[in-house]
Structure 1
Amino acid sequence: MTEQLEAPVADRALKAKHRAMWALGDYPAVATEIIPDLGEALVRASGVGPGHRVLDVAAGSGNAAIPAAATGASVVAGDLTPELFEAGRVLAARRGVEVDWQEADAEHLPYTNGEFDVVLSCVGVMFAPHHEDAARELTRVCRPGGTIGLLSWTPEGFIGEMFATMKPYAPPPPPGAQPPPLWGSEAHVRDLLGDRVTEVVARRRTVRVDHFARPEDFRDYFKANYGPTIAVYRAIAEGPDRVAALDRDLAELARRHDVGGPDHTVMEWEYLLLTGHRRG
């Protein structure tokens, strides 16, 4: 009995930690200033349209939920971190659309089987620590014949490399937690979805990021705004040498990926866009 009780308690503690991490900084700024087009790309690829009942899982401030609502769909935006919803409501109001914002854990979605026509996640569900649990929930709440659309950073792309760069400085992950960029591996996602999803189409694409003048500006922006980066820096705050080393490593990462000229940093960040249909 003790072992059965320990797992939920540990899970709640882990989820509380994740919620707090994504509330750090200003993720809505990252979504709207750095990667504003990703949600639109996912919505188009998933064929969202009028009359669809759509769930955006790990929706954040609505990068996919808001453009989905703009098509005339009825959209629920679920996220573990409701602190992000206020910015989402402001963005939705600017677009003149309505979105139903609901606190929801991607690994334990509070919805009935087959409730949605389309289930989306834009660089969101990939951060749920237990991949198989999240994948089962994605398919469970999608109706037979409905669409599942996922957009995730690849392990080999810039964000995947950023997480690999930060890993030596971060506390060890909890037992059973899997690295987020694995969701950017087509083989991994196909294995997660299994035979519950058919007609899978997977494409690797890149998003052009030209927001930063210098590699150091990228580093400083993510130190100030991106929850996972902020959390790593907090973990090493008492070690100035380690902070300086991570500063160098992140700036060098951006420098290696810079395809711009001497006066402006331009990077291409790779992601996997995968769609499929829930087996009937």
Structure 2
Amino acid sequence: MTTTVKTKHRAMWASGDYPAVASELVAPLGPELVEATGIGPGQTVLDVAAGTGNAAIPAALAGAQVTASDLTPELLAVGEKNAPAAASAKLTWVEADAEDLPFETASFDTVISCIGVMFAPFHQAAAAELLRVCRPGGTIGLINWTPEGFIGQMFATMKPYAAPPPPGAQPPPLWGDPAHLSSLFGDGVTDVSVERRNLRVDHLGSGAAFRDYFKVNYGPTIAVYRNIAGEPARVAALDAELLALAERHDTGGGAMNWEYLLYTARRAPR
């Protein structure tokens, strides 16, 4: 079953145009995570669920030796192609499952994930891998959408229309709940810092434009609409609900604030 789940996830993120989402909407998050974790020259960094390298590329530009890992090779290929020459020499792109990373224990100074690892379906397995590959005293840094924020609420809106998750899978936005992260990492970390921040998104212009953009470009939204493709009434209902959600979050002219959690911690001594 696990192989089937991974195959479906890989295909979901390869659908649509996530590189457009990464570059047009969420690009500021990567540099923010790099700054928050103090990444710089001489460090070894692993970016888990790196996608097209929104955090991995800034980390390499900061002087670190960076491994960008992701389940979806199509996204890695875009990142590798688009990485500037100054970053490319310090970047390695590796296809890898966040729940079963192909790296030695304690092999990285800093382990990061920017709205990436939160989509691994089995949270405890993914958290255990983040801890395992980070050296004692090293840094773990995450940016995750919160359950209460816009993207978290979008997933809650889509849930009734989505295919049932695999047994044991947990919702992605839980990674934006500090209590959930505490339960995942336990005494494996010290010096925990959490901060709620907002990403200003003004690229789309209106609630309808947001909905239509995500229907075409964003893998999880595409998957949900495919699940109900033969049910016009449910498609219309989801259309209406996503539009209403976007309009509730409209701060003027179609601009929205998308809340996320910035989490940093120190890997506890063994």
Class of the TM-score when normalised by the shorter of the 2 chains: over 0.9
Q: Is the 8 A contact 2:60 2:87 kept in 1?
A: no
Q: Is the 8 A contact 2:80 2:88 kept in 1?
A: no
Q: Give the TM-score of the pair, scaled to structure 2.
A: 0.97
1:277 is matched with which residue?
A: 266
1:54 to 45, 50, 57: 45
2:98 is matched with which residue?
A: 106
1:30 is matched with which residue?
A: 21
Whole-Å Cα distance in 2 between the matches of residues 81 and 166 of structure 1? 23
Relative to structure 1, is the Cα distance of residues 233 and 277 closer, same or farther in structure 2, using a 3 angstrom cutoff? Answer: same
1:266 is matched with which residue?
A: 255
In the alignment, structure 2 segments of 5+ residues that lack a partner are: none
How many residues in Structure 1 have an aligned counterpart in Structure 2?
Answer: 268
Q: Deviations over 1:118-152 (max 9, x none)?
A: 00000000000111100000000000100000100
In the alignment, structure 1 segments of 5+ residues that lack a partner are: 1-9
Structure 1 segments (4+ residues) deviating >6 Å = none
Q: Deviation at 1:244?
A: 1.0
Whole-Å Cα distance in 1 between the matches of residues 215 and 86 of structure 2? 29
1:172 to 142, 164, 169: 164
Three-state SS of the structure 2 residue aligned to 1:108 is coil
2:233 is matched with which residue?
A: 241
Whole-Å Cα distance in 1 between the matches of residues 145 and 41 of structure 2? 28
Whole-Å Cα distance in 2 between the matches of residues 95 and 157 of structure 1? 35
Q: Give the TM-score of the pair, scaled to structure 1.
A: 0.94
1:1-280 residue pairs with structure 2 within 5 A? 10-93=1-84, 96-98=87-89, 99-260=91-252, 264-280=253-269
Whole-Å Cα distance in 2 between the matches of residues 136 and 213 of structure 1? 40
Whole-Å Cα distance in 1 between the matches of residues 128 and 20 of structure 2? 30
Q: Deviation at 1:97?
A: 3.5
1:3 is matched with which residue?
A: none
1:4 is matched with which residue?
A: none
Q: Deviation at 1:95?
A: 5.9
The root-mean-square deviation of aligned C-alpha atoms, in Å, is 0.9
